[in-house]
Every structure is written in structure tokens, then in C-alpha cells.
Chain A
Amino acid sequence: MNIKNTVIAISLVTSSLVMGSSSVYADWPTKDIHLVVPYSAGGNTDILSREVAHLLQKELDVNVIVENRPGAGSTVATGRLARGGRNADHTILMASPGHVIGASIYPNLPYNAVSDFKFITKLLDAPNIMVVPSSSPYNTVAEFIAAAKSKPMTFSHPGVGSSVHMSGELFKTLTKTKLTAVPFPGSGAALPALLSGDVDVSFENASTVLPYIQSGGLKALAVTSKTRFKALPNVPTVIETEGYDLSGFVTTVWNGVIAGNAFPDEGVEVLQAALQRVKESEEFNAFIDKMGAEASPLSGEEFKSFISSEVIRWKMVAEEAGVRQS
């Protein structure tokens, strides 16, 4: 009897251990979640992250702590995420175009932008807008391209490797024009040069230039998204330009939540469900509406394949533009 009891006891203990180990993450999250922002406090990605943290906190009933880890165009924080380490099972990161552009500019990154991460969900998309000063003689993309083919022209951008910069380079490549990139330290510094006509064009984020388009300081020639932008229904997309094949010209600013490979699948599922509810919430949509953005339907695998195709595309553009490091 004793032996039998012992066997039962042992088997109970082991089975509970086995079951326990397989369900360590069954009730994820078990502690506070860290949401890493790979940029300094104050930017668009940071402001969005703080709102998302606030909404996610309500959904999951744990604290969501926003942590700023800026450096090298988001690659410092992303590298840390890929390495895993302590707390990796409760750490997520707010990714942006910097994730794919970084991968296309720096060849020696200590991580692979696709295979080293789990892609939880893409939160939003916002178009860039092709704007010219109000004093500019060009009123359509076609007119602008024709002029830029005959004389050297300039476009402003808020930093090498920004989505605004890469959009300009992509435009230059596709239209075979003589555009020169002029860098500024941030959009705030770039705007006066655009308003005064020191530079000829820019492919700025919608949230930055919308007020100037409305006040008449800037003219919107086109939006860079696949479909027209609801805030500017009369402005065509770049793709619509007649006489040129610009079908490859779709660039959006996006944000999405990713995690390292050490992050548990249970956590991915919990977060996907919670963030889906956030994306559908009125509060979130009202918030991103003010940023000129729309909620994105992509999640999981779809998000991942979006990232892989973006990495390939920007790598090509970066090489063509000569901004890829060797």
C-alpha cells in the first residue's frame, strides 16, 4: 500500500510539475508589461505609446510602463529586444518605419528585422503628403516631374533614414529626376525652409503639414498612400499621376507592436485580442484621427509579411540613393 501511495504521490507531483511548466504563461500577463519606445520622449511614436499604454492597462488590468530607449534610429532598443534577457516575457516595443529603414541602411545590425521578432499587431497607418510652397508654380505631380527632369530641385527631410527622406529618395528613383535631399534637424526646422520656398518639395507626415495645407501656406500635390486620404478627399494619390508609372510609390508612416522571440506565444495571443479591442475603441480612433492616421487591420502573420516586403523595398531604395552603409 505504501509503495502504491508513494507511486501515486510521485506521479501526482511530477504531473503537476509537467503541467505547471507547460502552463507557466497560461495566465499571462503575470506582472507589469514594459512598452519600449525606441525614441526620446515627446515624438509622435512616444505620444501614441503613452495613449496605447493607458488603453492597454484598462484592458489587461496590469500596469503598462512606457520606457524610452532612444538611439541610432531605433536600432539600439530593437537590438536589446532581440537579445531577450531578463523580463523578455513581458517586454514589447512600439515599432515604426525606423524598424525596416534601419534594417535597410545599416548592414551590420546585430539582429534580423524579420526573423528575430514576433509581430503582434500593426496599430495604424498615416500617409505622407507631397507638398510644395504656396508660391510654387506647380499644381500637379506631372507638372512637378516635368520641371524636375529639366533642372536640379531640392526636397527637405527631417533626418537621414526618416520615412520622409526615404519617400523622397523613392520618388527620385521612380521618376528619374534630379532631386537633391536637404537634411534638417527635425520637421520643425524643415518647415520654414519649405514655407519660404528655400526647398522645392517635401514628402512630410500628414500630421505635420495638414494645418499648413488648410491655412494655404503649402499646396498638397498628392498623398503617398494607396488610396486617397479622408482628410483631403480632393487630393489625388501619387499613383494616380497620368503619364508616369508610379504604381510602386506607396509609403506610409505606421506603428505596430512587436516583441522578441523569447516572448511567449500565450502573451502574443492575449495582446492581439486586447489590442484588437483597443483598435476598435472609440477613444483610440478619436486619438489617432487627430494624428491624421487610420487604424490598421494587419495582425500577426500579415504584419510580418508586410515587414519582410518593406525591408526588401527600402534596401533597394537605400542602395540606389547611396545611403546604405558598407
Chain B
Amino acid sequence: MENFSEVLSLFFVWDNFIAIAIGVFLGVVIGAIPGLTTTMAVALALPFTFSMAPVSAILLLVGIYKGGMYGGSITAILIRTPGTPASACTLLDGYPMAQNGEAKKALKMSLYSSVIADFISNISLIFFAAYLAKIALNFGAPEFFWLICFSLTIIVSLSGSSVLKGFLAAALGLMISLVGLDPVYGSQRLTFNDYNLMDGISFVPLLIGLFAIPEVIDFYQRKVVSKTVINASGKEISWSEFKRCIKTIVRGSFIGVIIGAIPGSGATAAAFISYSEARRKSPNRENFGKGEIEGVAAAEAGNNGVAGATMIPLLSLGIPGDVVTAIILGAFMIHGLTPGPLMFQNNLSIIYALFLGIMVSSLFLLVVGLGAIKYFSKIADVPKEILFPIIVMFCVYGAYAVNNNTFDIWLMMGFGVLGYIFNKTGIASAPFLIGFILGPMFEDNLRRSLLIGNYDMSIFFRGPITWFFITLTLGSILFSFKRWLSYRNK
């Protein structure tokens, strides 16, 4: 390659390494603070990149993105408050692990899994970008519809003790997701003419309320310190545990890569799909949701697998897959670069320099992550009487910060009460979340397919991708049914 020296000279400058380090560090810290989202951090950092060299500028933003994707899991595990929506799935097993005195183990597994997934995602970006981009372009509304159908079969496996309660929770989540404006006609649904509800229920207040607040209520109700929630000096991950999780991590990473390569899907969905697949395949199925290390690995692999892959449609097609990559696209444009097929012709050296930087960012994530675990796990030493009021403060702040709206604080409190009722009645909150996240995607893609196909049903069976997901969906339903039968006959 004749441009090789140019690539190296573009990449091996101190600025790039400093940009990546600062980016990943900021990302991890901001990701760990509930209510401060990665999107916000990337948007705020954008003006600072105007005066930087293009490669450093993009790497700073990518660093924040990747750091944030991991950082969210720290508070999810330690205080049951997901720092970012994508880490909601991590707490399902991460927090129970912390309660069992395995906080350190959970945090480390979350980090290793994140770094490996990130690495796999980067490799996919570098080697399979063109191929995956082609799939992404063929992934229209009907294909999306079947992917969501397949994902919805997860509800059965995440329902906990009672499938009926699981469906009830999912239906409630679905109903709450309906609040807002109709996506096609713009008419109001369940808004009670309140402008605060026009845009629907915000995700962050819902998550914080649902998970963090019930713990607080529970603590003050019992007034006894039952368990040491966190034991920072707990055991390390053993090699056999890590080996057990490798398959899950690799599987989750590829699920993340594929979901990330399709514009408009998102890391939260990837984490849940990866989690449910892990549970389906695991011999420790019954332990999921009670502190299974494989669950933490699966969730984090799923959401971090997305990070590198969202760059695929961005670089190869110029299409941003989510809000963060849309801002990164803006950064490219400001530096006079236009991502897309033309960039591979005109600015190949910049692309390769970026690839090198993105690979290095995985390494930095590991280093920064280890440091973060060391300091964040100091939360362990804080007595609960002091910790819980601080958590409540963060809950209130986090709910407010997303939209700068006091209404969201009340919303968060409301969901706190709902989460408490869920806990007391043994209803799992995971199906509720799935209904809330996937419900709107299901509706959108169903209606979009019908509009595109002029209400001709044949659009749902239009090609190999649709058939592939139809087969998976039917297979998954059959599998659950078979398990239920054998369970009943026992």
C-alpha cells in the first residue's frame, strides 16, 4: 500500500492518543452518572473539536461513545441505577451479584466483556464493512418487523417464575410506550392533553425510577442493613468462569455487530437480545436474573458490540445509525469530509488512521475501565445510611437532567412506586422493559411496511432476510413450547 507511510504519519501523533484517552475517560465517567447520556457528552464535546485535526477530532468523539457504552454498567451493578439506557440489561444479573458480595467480579466481567465485544466490533468494521453495509441497505421495514417479532419471543424466557405475570408486565410496558403522538397521523394517545406527555414517556426517568427507587424504599421500610451490597475486595474472576462466558461474549458481540450495522436499531435492544440468547443456550439457565455472571457478560457484549458497528453504515454509506453517530457525521462534515463511498476513494488514509485509532481505543477502554473499577468500587465503603440519600439525589438529578424538566422527576417517582409494586408481587421488570422498548419498534415497522406496500401483505414475505427471521421466530416459539411441555410433565 503506497499510502502506508501517510497513514502512519496521520495516526502516530500525540494528539490522537491524548484525544482517545480523554474521550474514553470522559465517556466512562459520564456514562456512569445517571441522567448524563453519551449523546449529551458527544454533543457538548463537538465544538471543542472544531479546531482539532480531523483524525483526533473524530477519535475524541468515538472515545466518548465507547467509554459511555461501558461506563453505564458501573452504577447499574453497584447501585442498581443504569447510567445509560443500554446498561439496563446489565443490572438484571449485575446487581444481584453485587448483593452476593461479588461486585468486583461483576464489574470486571462487564469490563472484559465490553472490551472483547468492542474489539470484535472494530474488526468487523474494518474487514466486513462493505458486506454488512449491503445487508443494512436491504434491511427495510418488513425485515425489521420480523427481527422485532423474533426479539419479542424473549419475553417468555425473561418472565421469571410466572409466564402470565411476564405477559402482564410486557403488556403494561407496551401500553406505557403508546403514550405520545401517533407516529403516522400525529394524533394524541393517552396524553390527557398534557404537553409533557406529547413526546411520550422518557426512557431515563422510567429506568431510574423502576430500578433504583424500589431499593431505597425497601431499605427505609426494613431499616436494617441486611446484606453488604458491595464488597469491593471480593473475589476475582476465575479462569473457568471466564472460559464459560467466552462463547456468550462472542455470540453477544456478533449480535451487537449485526444490530449496530442496521441504522435505527440501538444498543439497548442488542443487549436484551444477546441476554436472552445467552439464557436460552446456557446450562445455568435457572440462575439468570439471580446473579449469573454469564448474564452480565451477555448484556455488555451486546451493547458494546454495537459501538464499532454503528460506524459501518456511517463510514460506508454516510448513514448515521443513531444520534451519536449523527453528531459524529456532523464532525466529519465540519472538517470538510463526507463519509460514504466517496470517502473510501478520496480520503483512504484518513479512514485507515481512524481504524488504527479505533483499535487503540479498545485498549484504552481496558486501562481506563480498570482504573474506574478501582475508584468507583469505593462506593462500597460508604455506609448505606449515607449512600441511599445520595442515590436519591442522583435519581432526582438524573431524571431532571435529560430534558431539564421537573415533570420527569414526578415521572421517575411514579415508576419508583410501580417498581416497588413489581418487587412485592414478584413481577419481573425485564418483560416490562422489553414491551416498552420493542413495542414502538414493532408498531412503527408494521405500519411502515403496510404503508410502503400499499397494504399488500406480500411485502412481509419479500426476500431471504424476512424468511430467515420468520424461521427464527417460529423456532423460538416452538422451543419455548417444548420446554414448557417438558417442564409440565416433570
Contact = CB atoms under 8 A, between A and B. Distances in A.
Q: Do A and B come from one complex?
A: yes
B328 to A, nearest CB: 10
Contacts of B183: 160, 183
A182 B451 contact: yes
Interface stretch (A17-25, A63-71, A232-240, A294-302): A63-71
Contacts of A188: 263-264, 319-322, 325-326
Contacts of B40: 41
Contact of B319 (A181, A191, A198): A191
Nearest to B193: A108
B318 A41 contact: no
Interface string B231-272: 000000000000000000000000000000001100000000
A42 B324 CA distance: 8
Interface in B173-219: 181-188, 193, 195-196, 198-199
Interface stretch (B108-116, B133-141, B467-475): B133-141
Interface in A45-70: 46-47, 50-51, 54, 67-70
B141 A69 contact: no
A214 B187 contact: no
B39 interface: yes
A325 interface: yes
B318 A180 contact: no
A46 B45 CA distance: 13
Contacts of B371: none
A42 B43 contact: yes
B44 interface: yes
A71 B198 contact: yes
A290 B334 contact: yes
A211 to B, nearest CB: 5
Contacts of A75: 195, 198
A42 B402 CA distance: 13
A302 to B, nearest CB: 30
Nearest to A77: B404
* Max chain B Cβ within 10 angstroms of own Cβ: one of A41, A67, A181, A322: A41
B454 interface: yes
A172 B448 CA distance: 19
A184 interface: yes
Contacts, number: 140
Given A41-B44, A54-B47, A211 B338 contact: yes
A322 B404 CA distance: 32
Contact of B326 (A42, A73, A193, A322): A42
A154 B199 contact: no
Interface string B313-353: 10001111111111100100110101111100000000000
Given A72-B199, A152-B454, A196-B137, A47 B46 contact: yes
A246 interface: no
Contact of B139 (A70, A192, A322): A192
Given A42-B39, A69-B403, A325 B199 contact: no
A188 B338 CA distance: 15
A290 B105 CA distance: 48
B235 to A, nearest CB: 41
Nearest to A53: B47
Contact of B340 (A43, A184, A215, A322): A215
Interface in B262-301: 263-264
Given A42-B39, A199-B452, A211 B405 contact: no
Interface residues of B, number: 57
A189 B264 contact: yes
A198 B141 contact: yes
A288 to B, nearest CB: 12
* Max chain A Cβ within 10 angstroms of own Cβ: one of B43, B136, B184, B339: B43
A104 B417 CA distance: 38
Contacts of B336: 290
A212 B43 contact: no
Contacts of A54: 47
B15 interface: no
A interface bracket (residues with beta carbon within 8 Å of B):
35 or more
A192 B263 contact: yes
A161 B186 contact: yes
A50 B40 CA distance: 13
Contact of B342 (A71, A160, A214): A214
Contacts of A186: 264, 323, 326
A105 interface: yes
Contacts of A68: 403-404
A135 interface: no
A154 B323 contact: no
A308 interface: no
A70 B199 contact: yes
A78 B317 CA distance: 36
Given A41-B39, A47-B330, A192 B185 contact: no
B313 to A, nearest CB: 8
A189 B47 CA distance: 25
* Max chain B Cβ within 10 angstroms of own Cβ: one of A70, A110, A152, A207: A70
A154 B326 CA distance: 25
Of all A-B residue pairs in the complex, the 6 with the closest CB atoms, nearest first, are A72-B198, A41-B43, A189-B264, A160-B186, A188-B320, A42-B43
Interface of A: 40-43, 46-47, 50-51, 54, 67-73, 75-76, 79, 105, 108, 110, 152, 154, 160-161, 180-186, 188-189, 191-193, 195-196, 198-199, 207, 211-212, 214-215, 217, 290, 322-323, 325
Interface of B: 39-40, 42-44, 46-47, 136-141, 181-188, 193, 195-196, 198-199, 263-264, 313, 317-327, 330, 333-334, 336, 338-342, 403-405, 444, 448, 451-452, 454
26 contacts: A40-B403, A42-B324, A42-B326, A43-B326, A67-B404, A71-B196, A75-B198, A76-B195, A76-B405, A152-B454, A154-B451, A160-B181, A161-B186, A181-B451, A186-B323, A186-B326, A188-B321, A189-B264, A192-B139, A192-B263, A211-B339, A211-B340, A214-B342, A215-B318, A290-B336, A323-B185
